[in-house]
Structure 1
Amino acid sequence: MSDVLAVTDHRRGELRDVSYELITAGRELADATGGALHVAVISGTVDEFAEKLDREGVDTIHTVDHGEEFNHDVYTQTVTQLYDELAPQYVLAPNSVNGLDYAPAVANQLDLPIVTDTVDLEADGDSLTATREMYGGKVETTAELSGDAVVTIRGAEWPAAEGTGDASIEAFDVDIDEDAVGSTVTGFEEVGGGDVDISEADVLVSVGRGIEEEENLEIIRELADALDATVSSSRPIVDNGWLPKNRQVGQSGKVVTPDVYVAIGISGAVQHVAGMKGSDTIVAINTDPNAPIMDIADYAIVDDLFDVVPALTEEFQ
């Protein structure tokens, strides 16, 4: 029997979606190893977070009340001490900015192997097969690990844990060496036109190179207004300078999981699909019935976007 420790993620007072996905991934591993799933929430309003994280499948939630926001040294020291206390076989972290900050340091201090950006995990006894994607999602590779390991998981690859749990919530008394804490978060500043966070949107209207010209974006904005949605895009639109970088969906942009994703004039290259395939409902509008986006769309409209989009806008207005 081997336990699993999943370290959750939060930012500016909100748990990130990947926290609930970590619970799902962790529960699958714990079931395979016959162990328990431990969930850690570090810093912030930990008691409030713990209540939200008490989902089906969680055995114990460990709260660490130290500071409000992410700090590299605090997380590294805390996760290392939790590992020493709980002796889990696997430490799971999000493949986020925060996770990729402390997970390698934890692995280094504990002298453990680390695999990042995994999209699938399969445990068999003391061995773990971790699947990653390479070359823009065109190739899958596997890493075979034995013994303990640190793993980061890609967001939107596992479903979010649901249901109501009955976890034991325990405060973990971490011994932080304050002399080793070399940084402090003093605030946040959005970079690169950070007017919105598309990863938090419930409905996204996303546009690709099929829009042809920048001035044609106006009909996309009108549809988004009618749907109370947020405008996003594929990479060519950002490369052209028509929308800011923070609006880009895809492997080199943001991973999004909205309730509805409307893809307009987007062919569906693997790099783009990697960023939006976790959407609940995908609507594609494209003149090419064989475009890759059509293969994953729940609803496909094969027609000229310049006819379809204004008609949809009128209908929803």
Structure 2
Amino acid sequence: MSDILAVAEHRRGELRDVSFELVTAGRELADATGGDLHVAIISGDLNDFAEQLKVEGVDTIHTVADGEEFNHDVYAQAVTQLYDAIAPQVLLMPNSVNGLDYAPAVANRLDLPYVSDVIGMELGDDTLTATREMYGGKVETATDVPAEHVAVSIRSAEWPMTEETGDAAVESFDVDLDEDLIRSTVTGFEEVGAGDVDISEADVLVSVGRGIEEEENLDLVRDLADALDATLSSSRPIVDAGWLPKNRQVGQSGKVVTPDVYIAIGISGAVQHVAGMKGADTIVAINTDPNAPIYDIADYGIVDDLFDVVPALIEQFS
């Protein structure tokens, strides 16, 4: 029997969705090892975070009190000491901006093999097989690492979130921080390119691609978004053309989104774009090409001219 340790993530007072995806991934591994799933939450409103993390599958939640926001030097020390105390077989971290900041440092300190940007895992007797994507998502590769002890960071939106309430124990963990190793100070938070909205928080997204043809035609899609009380997003060509700001881009080089409904208008479905939205609950595609890759993952498809379909939808929902 071997335990699993997952490190939850929060930002600006809110737990990120990847925290609950880590629980799902961690529980799968813990079931394979016959051990317990430990979840660590570092800094912030620990009482509130711990209550939210009491979901099905978590055995113990470890809280580390230090500051409000992420600090690389604190996380590196805290996660290292948690690992030493719990001795898990697998250390799970998010493949996020913050996760990629401290995960390599922790793996280096602990002399652990480290696999990043993982989208799938299978744990055998001696080997952990991690699935990753290469060449812009065109190829999936299997990476085998010794399963005795390993560090992994998982890509968001690849595992479902665990939300059913559980009864995990909550334990405070005291970290012996070496102040000489804390060389950075958090002075504030600024979301680069955040702009006016955060599309990753939207429940309904109306997303537009190169099929819109001209910038002035964006008004038609905006009208549909307004009719649906949705948020407007786009594929990369629209941003590259300067028609919408970077914060509206969905995809591998944009944002990963998991809305309840994702409406893809004039989007062919390149792998880079699909990587950012395939976690949506319901995907609706509108495209004139019946062979467009977007239809491979769409729940509903309308093979027709968007300039005929979108006005009809606006009339229907207005």
| Residue in structure 2 matched with residue 86 of structure 1 by the alignment | 86
| Residue in structure 1 matched with residue 284 of structure 2 by the alignment | 283
Say if 2:296 is the partner of 1:304: no
Matches of 2:218 and 2:291, distance apart in 1: 24
Matches of 1:175 and 1:219, distance apart in 2: 58
Sequence identity percentage: 78
| Residue in structure 2 matched with residue 243 of structure 1 by the alignment | 244
The aligned runs of 1:83-122 (5 Å cut-off) are: 83-122=83-122
The aligned runs of 1:69-218 (5 Å cut-off) are: 69-146=69-146, 147-192=148-193, 194-218=195-219
TM-score by length of structure 2 reads: 0.98
Matches of 2:193 and 2:57, distance apart in 1: 39
Say if 2:36 is the partner of 1:56: no
Q: For 1:270-299, what per-residue CA distance to the aligned partner results, in whole angstroms no more than 9, with x for missing partners?
A: 111111000000010111111111111111
Say if 2:15 is the partner of 1:7: no
| Residue segments in structure 1 that go unaligned for 5+ positions in a row | none
Matches of 1:71 and 1:22, distance apart in 2: 20
| Residue in structure 2 matched with residue 21 of structure 1 by the alignment | 21
Instruction: Check whether the contact 1:205–1:229 (CA below 8 A) recurs between aligned residues.
Output: yes
- What SS is found at the alignment partner of 1:98? helix
Instruction: Check whether the contact 1:193–1:244 (CA below 8 A) recurs between aligned residues.
Output: no
- What SS is found at the alignment partner of 2:36? strand
- What SS is found at the alignment partner of 2:35? strand
1:193–1:164 distance in 2 versus 1, CA, 3 Å: closer
Instruction: Check whether the contact 1:257–1:278 (CA below 8 A) recurs between aligned residues.
Output: yes
Matches of 2:228 and 2:133, distance apart in 1: 34
Question: Once the 2 structures are TM-superposed, how far is the Cα of residue 177 of structure 1 from its aligned partner?
Answer: 1.4
| Residue in structure 2 matched with residue 40 of structure 1 by the alignment | 40
Q: For 1:175-224, what per-residue CA distance to the aligned partner results, in whole angstroms no more than 9, with x for missing partners?
A: 11122111122112232352111111111000000000001000111111
Matches of 2:311 and 2:46, distance apart in 1: 47
- The one-letter code sitting in structure 2 at the alignment partner of 1:156 is A
| Residue segments in structure 2 that go unaligned for 5+ positions in a row | none
- What SS is found at the alignment partner of 2:97? coil
- What SS is found at the alignment partner of 2:207? strand
- What SS is found at the alignment partner of 2:119? strand
| Residue in structure 2 matched with residue 269 of structure 1 by the alignment | 270
Matches of 1:215 and 1:88, distance apart in 2: 55
Q: For 1:14-72, what per-residue CA distance to the aligned partner results, in whole angstroms no more than 9, with x for missing partners?
A: 10000000000000001111111000000000110011011100000001111000000
- What SS is found at the alignment partner of 2:62? strand
Matches of 1:194 and 1:79, distance apart in 2: 33
Matches of 2:126 and 2:161, distance apart in 1: 26
- What SS is found at the alignment partner of 1:268? coil
| Residue in structure 1 matched with residue 222 of structure 2 by the alignment | 221
Matches of 2:126 and 2:179, distance apart in 1: 36
- The one-letter code sitting in structure 1 at the alignment partner of 2:70 is F
**RMSD of aligned C-alpha atoms?**
0.9
Matches of 2:277 and 2:248, distance apart in 1: 13
